[in-house]
Every structure is written in structure tokens, then in C-alpha cells.
Amino acid sequence: MIEQKQPEPSSFSLGRRVLSAPTLVSFAVAALLLVLLATRFSVDLGATWENIRSSSPLLLFLAVAVHYTTFFFRGARWRLMLGNAGVFPQAMLPSQFTAARLMLLGWFASSITWFRLGDAYRAYAYAEESGAPLARTMGTILGERVMDIMIVFLLLMAGFLLLYLDPELRPPGVLLQVGLALVAASLAGLAAMQVFWRRISHLLPGRIRSGYEAFHDGTMRSFRTLPLAMLLGLLGWLSEVGRLYFVVQATGMEVGIGLVAFVAVANALLSAVPLTPGGLGVVEAGIVGLLALALPREEAISIALLDRSISYVSIIMTGVIAFLYHRRVASRRANKGQEGRKT
């Protein structure tokens, strides 16, 4: 009976968090930043709105379509890593569609909660729907994050080099330094985890020890078939670059592909800052600041608002549907479990 009562509160009360005080404060902070940007830097709001209004609906639709392919690429990678980690036969691997849906659900959770809880929620949601071992599944999440950090750094470096060829554009090197530091810290953490895991395991109580060992095993085994996993991760990130590219094209602005790639990938670092859910307010300011290297502020703000309407607002809208569907699947499985015990 205790196990059947756990899933509901463990869902992080996600529905209530949509209108929680911290989330509403984050929306207010984001709005305040935009107001300050418009007033302090003398932004012509009329010109900004005209840029948005005159943007191409077809190209914006393509931006949305390309953006949502990221969930299928990332879902395929996660499914591959779950298989590597050995969640089967304790649970069936998710289908390609289910993996993409759970990926979207995780992004939705990160968009309305602090400290990027969406990654942990995705692992829990999969365990709740399938009975998969949570600790081993969480190991694949850590493996994903390490891969993403390496891919982000490579794309940042590529974008930085493309921009550096233009003498009029000098991108901030601090983002490249942050990316390099994250890569170094991630690899050092993995190395330490592999070297000292037995010592750490012996220090833990029995029940916690088994969970830690499953987490360690899931993390390390998820790196099998690394080339294919990295390729799928790269395609997922290129989908986000493609989204921003089509948004820029929709507005008719002239922005080089190097700056587009640099801005799109730099957003990943900015959204990881746990100051607001989904980097709300922080990412928008970052996009405007980087695009202002090549565009007037009105045009940069137009692109930032259009891009975030896809990468943030649309995720909230579609994520609610994914969350409601997940609750239905999880409740159905819980009811079947109760009926099985009664019989």
C-alpha cells in the first residue's frame, strides 16, 4: 500500500508549480528585464513589434517543426543509453515516441521549476510508467549531461572560430572558457567516480549502497556505443541551431551562421543558470546581447522574443499535454498493480 501512495506526491506536484509563487516571480523578473532593456537603452518598441508582425509565418512554422525534432533525436539517444545501462529486463525500453514524449516532459518540468528538476523528473516519470530502476535510470541522465557538455563546447568553439574570422565581430571568450571549465570538471568527476566508487560504496549503508552502485553502473554503461550516442546528441543540438536559423530568416535579418550557432548553443549555458525556471529572463537578455554584435537592438529583441516563444512558451503549452498524458499512463499502471495484488 505504501508503494501505491508514493507516485502522486513524488510527481513534484507539477500541476501546482505552473502557478507557483516562484514561477510567477520569474515571469515578473523576465518582464522587468525586458522593460528595463526597452527604456534604459532607448529601444523603439514600435519597430520591434513591426519586425515581429512582418515575420514570415511559413519560416516560423519551419522553426517550430525543426525545434521539435530535437526531442526525437534526444529521445533516441536516451533510449540507446537506457539499453546500454541495462534497465531491461526489469522494464521495457520506451518506444521512440515514448522516449521523445518523456524528453518533452522533462523540458516542461525544467521550464516551470528551479534548478533544472526536469531531468530528475523525466527519470522518475519513466520509472513510474514502466517500473524501471530509478537509480540506474538516473545514471543515464548524468551520462547525457556529460555528453551534452562536450557537444556544447565543440559547437561553441566552432561558432567562435567562424565569428573570429570576421574582424567586426568579436564574441565574448568567457562563454568558451566556461564551456572548457565545464568539460574539464565533468571529465574529472567521471574519472573520480570510476576510481573511487568502490571506496565510496563501502562507506554507505547497505540499502543506499545498492542504489549508488546501480547509479554508478548506469552512468558508466550508458557510454557504450559512444559514437552513435554522440551523433544523436549532436543532431539534437543542431535542431536548436536550425530553429534559431529559421527564426532569423523569418524576420529577414542578415545574421551569419557562425553567430546563429554561437547564440543558439550559448543559450544552453544561460538556461543552465538556476536563477529562474528555464533561464527565463536570463536567456532573453543573453540572446539580445549576443545578437547585438551584428544587429540593432530592436531587431535583436524581435528575434529573441520570437525564438523564446518557440523554445519556452510552446514547451509550456505542449508540456501540459505531455504531463496530463503521463499522469494517465502512470495511473493506469498503478491501478493494474492494485488489481494484481488483490487477485
**Which distant-in-sequence residues (6+ apart) come within 8 Å of 298 by Cβ?**
43, 44, 47, 48, 51
The residue extents of the domains of the chain are 2-35+66-342
Please calculate the CA angle 199-91-139 and round it to the nearest 5 degrees.
Answer: 30
Would you say 109 and 128 are in contact if contact means Cβ atoms under 8 Å apart? no
Q: What is the predicted pLDDT for the residue at 10?
A: 45
- How confident is the model over 48-72, as pLDDT tens digits? 888 899 999 999 999 999 999 999 9
Q: pLDDT band at 226, cuts 50/70/90?
A: very high
Gap between the Cα atoms of 13 and 204, Å rounded: 30
| pLDDT tens column, 146-179 | 999 999 999 988 888 888 777 677 777 788 888 8
Mean pLDDT calculated for residue range 286-292: 89
Cα(5)–Cα(178) distance, integer angstroms? 43
Q: Tell me the per-residue pLDDT of 182-192, one tens digit each, with 9 for 90 and over.
A: 999 999 999 99
In this prediction the pTM is 0.87
